[in-house]
Chain A
Amino acid sequence: NAGVTQTPKFRVLKTGQSMTLLCAQDMNHEYMYWYRQDPGMGLRLIHYSVGEGTTAKGEVPDGYNVSRLKKQNFLLGLESAAPSQTSVYFCASSYHTGRGGQPQHFGDGTRLSIL
């Protein structure tokens, strides 16, 4: 059972470079999320999507863009990487029943370092 798969697992970038993180889920979940986790800061929501073709800003969206062209995939892009974006990035997905928050299933994370 794959669940939520993130690629790559590790990446080192130079300031100003661009890259895309890929998240794929095989659970037919409607909702998908991108978080960053920094020491002592918990998980902070960057962007999320409530369905194919829709995205919305989270708590810390600046410097990131996302796309959800297919239901199973959620892409996170960094157009011009900055050292402040050094972090561990987690993707998650969940069902939405309309009655409230649902448990999220997380990927194993992508460790990104910006030099």
Chain B
Amino acid sequence: EDKVVQSPLSLVVHEGDTVTLNCSYEVTNFRSLLWYKQEKKAPTFLFMLTSSGIEKKSGRLSSILDKKELFSILNITATQTGDSAVYLCAVSHKIIFGKGTRLHILP
């Protein structure tokens, strides 16, 4: 059975800390892994990863994929209160989402 598992499910840190969110998967016919940020409403796209070992970076956020060990990490450095959200990981070809990591940044 295809599955995507995110950890931790919930995380509380102080502003300025660095966090690492994990996403592991077991799926047939893997095409890509995508990260989304969900605040109050619609998830918004962060990264799409298709190749192992190539880091994608956007400001303080970065992500990398390991297709041998079947996982990805999302790093956020120097966290800010605006980073508080649910972070979702999804894997295609059949689009399967993990349950998300709820991140709360304390001022």
The A-contacting residues of B in range 48-107, CB under 8 angstroms, are 48, 50, 88, 90-93, 95-100
Distance (Å) between the CB of A2 and the closest chain B CB? 13
A100 touches B99 (CB 8 A): no
Contacts known (A100-B32, A103-B48, A108-B42); A42 close to B100, Cβ less than 8 A: yes
Contacts known (A100-B31, A101-B48, A102-B48); A43 close to B42, Cβ less than 8 A: no
B88 touches A107 (CB 8 A): no
Closest chain B residue to A45, Cβ basis: B95
Q: Interface residues of B, CB < 8 Å — how many?
A: 21
**Bound form: Cα–Cα A107–B41 in Å:** 8
Contacts known (A43-B43, A43-B88); A103 close to B34, Cβ less than 8 A: yes
Which chain B positions have C-beta within 8 A of A41? 99
In the complex, A33 has a CB within 8 A of chain B: yes
A100 touches B42 (CB 8 A): no
Point out residues on A near B: beta carbons under 8 Å. Answer: 4, 33, 35, 40-45, 48, 59, 90, 99-109
